[in-house]
Structure 1
Amino acid sequence: MSKILNTFDRLILDASEVLSNKLLRSKNTVKWYRVYWRQMQRQLAKKGIMDFNSQIGQQYLLDSFGMFDYSTLSKCNKDIVKIVNVLCEYYDTGTLVSTKERFAVDGVIGIQMKEFISYLESMRLKPSTTKEREHYLGRFLFYLKGQNIYAMSEVNKVVILDYLKTLNRLKPSVIHMTLRAIRSFLKYLFEQGQLKADTSILVPKDKYIKQARLPSTYNVDEIQRMISAIDRSRPCGKRDYAIVLLACRLGMRASDIGGLKFDSLRWEECLISFNQYKTERLLQLPLLVEVGEAIIDYLKYARPKSSEPYVFLTGRSPIGRLYTSSVTHAVQKAFLASGVNVQHRRYGPHALRHSLASLLLEQNTVMPVITEVLGHENSASTRYYLRIDLASMKQCMLDVSSVPVTFYEQKGGYFYA
């Protein structure tokens, strides 16, 4: 690409075209990039800078955020860094490369990684686990290519440590999962006889402990305000009303609400019976009158005509089942419309699930019952909610014994004369 002939305007137009045609970004996404690029262009023009190159782009970020640590930036500012870096990448290379292209698993090491992933699948690991390993190994392979390393026998402790230095700005969880992926891959190669020595022992161990956040919960009044804010005169409102009731009254996950099928509704027995998407365990919940009437209202007066086996469908063409993101959006939309204060709290379906658990704890429901209602495999998962049972925690407080006056009056004491 001839950098001399490309003006700032031409650069923005060409980068937008690549985003749209090559990376298949949506119109709204491309518009979002273009709007900020134009804003940056105006800000630079005020300083007398009419052209653009990657050095100008990096200086712009430096002027905006100083010597920033990416991990400490807000989401909005991280988006700005990403948008500017995309334009810098296009200026330098004349194209944009998707994450999938950049971290392509190919070559000799790539073949070994694919065999490792197939092995994990044969061991019946969860798809999310195998995708996680493939993702972090792909990033490691990208680094190895940059270091001209094309055989795993060349990977030693120095290579691994140097790679970890590139992850310093990322979250500890990313470093932990990276170490786990590399360690298990090296162990596999040794066990398969593709490495002479077990180099997995060279991968350092970290002390990462996943610290679960306190669940976001809402009280009964807040939930009722949110439910009342749903406009049930519209077809989508009838659907969203039923979705919200399934989440707050029964504690169903978004994935299970979106995947709910007609054969799961056992009207004669007043039951909802389904295999949970997350755990694949059968869960049976009572089909409450309020929930049942909401579902019937949606099916009779709002659901588009379709042969789909799923209960909840999209409101516009092409008609199809709802997925987790759509269910989450429906709940979040209801919360925002209600005016309930959601600051510093999550406000999706899982927050309603947490709220149900909190309500059951307040009613002194025994732990095994809550475990069954939430569909957990064991009570260990349910104990996560004990931290929000403030009423019970207050009962565990110990009285502080009073300090005798003589303690303060002794030599060196506060009231010593």
Structure 2
Amino acid sequence: MNQSKSTIQHLINQSDQELRRLRYSAKSISTCHMFWNEFKIYSQEQDLEYYDHETARVFLKEKYNYPDISVDKHKPNVNAAANAIRRLGDMDLHGRFLGRFKKSVIPIPTGFQESYNAYIEYCIKRNNKPSTIKRNKILIKSFFEFLISTGVNEPLEITSRTLSDYTTTLLRFSKKSVQRELGAIKGYLKSTYFSGLITQDFSDSMPKLKFAQTEKPVMVWTEEEVFNLLNAVDRGNPYGKRDYAILLLVTQLGIRDSDIKNLKLTDLYWDKNIIEFTQLKTTQKITLPLLPEIGWAIIDYLKSGRPTTDCPYVFVIHKAPYSQVQKVGNIVARYQRESGIKVKSGNQHGIHSLRHTLASRLLEQHVDLELISGILGHVDVNSAKVYLHTDIDGLRQCALSLEKEVDYE
């Protein structure tokens, strides 16, 4: 047995104090106490007064069948039980809870205000998206909360050991979440160093975490499935005309959902037969051919489907005030359901999978990886190597002359 030197009741008291310090709601604290008391009684039945990690594991398995690898998601009460018992284990091993702290209750500590302001300015100068800056604010505030809880009250007190300890609190998160978290912390450390608030640049010495290869497989659509997806759209009504044009942009050009959402009328160069815009994700300009089917679909939408509005975006919501369309991914999901396309459980099957499919088909046709990277709008050609299944020339040869047909100004 991996038995603690702390009694279960002592850990419950410590955990209760920590939850209150972090300003958890009375309901959340009460829920934790319910599971803690249940575990305490379970341990007492086995003559255990001190916390034992193996007993905790067996308790969760016997009482709640946790973890259950046969399900994609546990029930809320099962997760609540696991989180409550995990907090006791964290308190026993680390004297604090591992993981991200409650986002809505984290103020900016006085000693970190100047470095926080410098970091936000750093993000703005790097042309980070507003959504990225918003997310990084949350991550940095969580980092500050950890620092304060360990006695670090200003940037000058940060050490390599501090960063190592913080990194261990991320072990339960997914690879993508950890990458975002560490990326935000590195940016903060770099901007703080550049601002002269710390004497050493710790950004390059952040500990690295290794992950098992457990990424979800990405669905590759067959030609028949893509055909059925498009064929499920009712092109006789305004919504269908809009959705059909959007799906063509995804399936034939691999444009990201964020870029479709932000595509403007001025991005369509009918005289040159191209679509040109600055990508939201990479901030890089990209030029793509205006393919015949896409061009005619957009014209059909502009002439016979799009509401009369001054909105600069191509695709709009068909209700006043006619702002740009939102949640493009929902359009794919809707017609996927309507077409009866089955998706293997656990596979990614949204817009990303359609971009993945386009790249795979091009690779199958022996198109150069650099050209595929250009089509998909990757800054680095290595980004396209993840597809490794599947002609820009063929695409560009399809460019069409439609300027005489267009009159949307």
TM-score in terms of structure 1 length: 0.64
In structure 1, distance between residues paired with 2:75 and 2:187: 35
Q: Structure 1 residues 204, 349: closer, same or farther in 2, change over 3 A? A: closer
Residues 196-244 of structure 1: per-residue CA shift (max 9 Å, x gap)? 6666687534446988765421111111011111223332222111111
For the Cα contact (< 8 Å) 2:359–2:372, is it kept in 1? Answer: yes
Residue pair 1:71, 1:171 contacting (<8 A) in 2 also? no
- State how far apart, in whole Å, the 1-side matches of 2:297 and 2:162 are: 59
Q: 2:64 touches 2:78 (CA, 8 Å); kept in 1?
A: no
Q: Residue type of the partner of 2:337? A: L
Does structure 2 retain, via aligned residues, the 8 Å contact 1:186–1:198? yes
- 1:282: which partner in 2? 285
Partner of 1:261: 264
**Structure 2 equivalent of residue 312 of structure 1:** 315
Counting only pairs closer than 5 Å after superposition, residues 1-400 of structure 1 correspond to structure 2 as: 54-56=32-34, 66=64, 68=66, 74-75=72-73, 77=75, 81=79, 100-124=103-127, 133-147=136-150, 149-156=152-159, 159-182=162-185, 185-186=188-189, 188-189=191-192, 192-195=195-198, 203-207=206-210, 214-323=217-326, 325=327, 327-344=328-345, 345-386=347-388, 388-389=389-390
Question: Secondary structure at 1:269's aligned position in 2?
Answer: coil
Does structure 2 retain, via aligned residues, the 8 Å contact 1:102–1:142? no
Partners of 2:316 and 2:233 lie apart in 1 by 18
CA distance in 2, matches of 1:354, 1:220: 13
- Residues 152-209 of structure 1: per-residue CA shift (max 9 Å, x gap): 3444455444444433322345445544544554455455443466666875344469
Q: Which residue identity lines up with residue 252 of structure 1 in the other structure?
A: I
Residue 119 of structure 1: how far off its partner (Å): 3.0
Distance in 2 between the 1:137 and 1:176 partners?
14
- Structure of larger gyration radius: 1
Q: Distance in 2 between matches of 1:114 and 1:79?
A: 40
Residue 186 and residue 222 in structure 1: after superposition, are their counterparts in 2 closer, same or farther (change >3 A)? closer
Q: Deviations over 1:11-41 (max 9, x none)?
A: xxxxxxxxxxxxxxxxxxxxxxxxxx9xxxx
Q: Structure 1: which amino acid aligns with 2:302?
A: L
Q: Deviations over 1:339-366 (max 9, x none)?
A: 1122243222222222122222222333
Cα deviation, residue 298, structure 1: 2.1
CA distance in 2, matches of 1:203, 1:72: 36
Corresponding pairs, count: 325
The structure-2 alpha-carbon separation of the partners of 1:336 and 1:206, relative to structure 1 and needing over 3 Å to count, comes to same
For 1:382, give the aligned amino acid.
A
Farther-moved stretch of structure 1 (189-198 vs 272-281): 189-198
Whose relative contact order is higher, 1 or 2, with alpha carbons under 8 Å and at least 6 apart?
Answer: 2
Q: Which amino acid aligns with 2:107?
A: A
In 1, the alpha carbon distance for the partners of 2:372 and 2:202 equals 45
Q: Residue 169 of structure 1 aligns to which amino acid in structure 2? A: R
- CA separation of 1:126/1:343 partners in 2, compared to 1, >3 Å: closer, same or farther? same
2:393 alignment counterpart = none
User: Equivalents in 2 of 1:253, 1:261: separation in Å?
Assistant: 14
What are the ranges of 5 or more consecutive residues in structure 1 without an aligned counterpart? 1-36, 38-51, 87-97, 390-417
TM-score w.r.t. length of structure 2 = 0.65
- Check whether the contact 2:269–2:276 (CA below 8 A) recurs between aligned residues: yes
Query: Are the structure 2 counterparts of residues 365 and 262 from structure 1 closer, same or farther at C-alpha, using a change threshold of 3 Å?
Result: same
Does the 8 A contact of 1:260 with 1:312 survive in 2?
Answer: yes
Contact 1:70 1:78 in 2 (8 A): no
Query: Residues 70 and 196 (structure 1 numbering): CA distance in 2 closer, same or farther, change over 3 Å?
Result: farther
- Counting aligned pairs with the same residue, the percent is 32
Does the Cα contact within 8 Å between 1:105 and 1:111 map onto a contact in 2?
no
Deviations 1:106-137 (A, max 9, x none): 42223322223323433556666655543332
Amino acid aligned to 1:296: I
* Secondary structure class of the residue paired with 1:273: strand
Structure 1 pair 124/164, CA: closer, same or farther in 2 (3 Å)? Answer: same
Q: Which amino acid aligns with 1:333?
A: R
Residue of structure 1 in register with 2:406 after alignment: none
- Contact 2:315 2:324 (8 Å CA) reproduced: yes
Q: What value does the CA root-mean-square deviation take over the aligned residues?
A: 4.0
What is the letter of the counterpart of residue 260 of structure 2?
Answer: I
Deviation at 1:138, TM superposition (A): 1.3
